[in-house]
Amino acid sequence: MKEQVANVLVLLIRLLTGVRSRWSGCEPSERQRIYFANHTSHIDTLVLWASFPSGFRRRVRPVAAKEYWERTRVRRFLARDVFRAILVARENPRAALKSLESISQELGTEDSLIIFPEGTRGRGEQVEAFHSGLHAIASAMPDIELVPVFLENLNRVLPKGEFLPVPLLGGATFGTPIRIVPGEDRHSFLERARLAVSQLKESK
């Protein structure tokens, strides 16, 4: 049942967005990674999740806003049973950060993670400043690869405030992995990570 729902979702997402995956800085891999991307639409999580090869999509888990994904029974089913999302309560920033700091324990040694460090949806014109959650995860898992991803055109596929997607071409560009540098302060790391995503947009 769960696998069937996942396959139907992937098909619908690809039909609606025509999403193209472009691995420009690394190759798809089953190794444990943190994928961090810009955030412009409610369908970002779905599109990025659907961009992975089917063989290891089940092991890529998104961090998602608890208050959004627990709002209805359907969303709860998708988040918990299909995406296996790690739900974080954004309305309590201190509790959310604490949850992110302990995320490595929930991931184990095999699952990868999707995170949107901007925290909230932007307009797609530029990559906004990153919140500290990515730094907390990177600090807890210093040996893991952090892969920047630029999501293209999704703010036009499903604009903010709209409920029905517009069939347009979207894309997901995966860049060169980075790692946190020993002794690197939080601000420097987050700006370096933000630039890694922003530069993927500029290279289009």
pLDDT by residue (tens digit) across 150-190?
988 655 544 455 444 544 566 789 999 999 998 899 999 99
Q: Which CATH class is domain 2-202?
A: alpha beta
Radius of gyration of the chain (CA): 16
Q: What is the pLDDT of residues 43-72, one digit of tens each?
A: 788 888 888 888 788 889 998 888 888 889
Neighbours of 61 (CB within 10 A): 19
Contacts with 49 (C-beta within 8 Å, 6 or more apart), sequence order: 57, 60, 62, 83, 114
Boundaries of every domain in the chain: 2-202
Of all helices (H) and strands (E), which one includes residue 86?
strand 86-88
Contacts with 175 (C-beta within 8 Å, 6 or more apart), sequence order: 24, 25, 26, 147, 148, 149, 150, 196, 197, 199, 200
pTM: 0.85
At position 7, the amino acid (one-letter code) is N
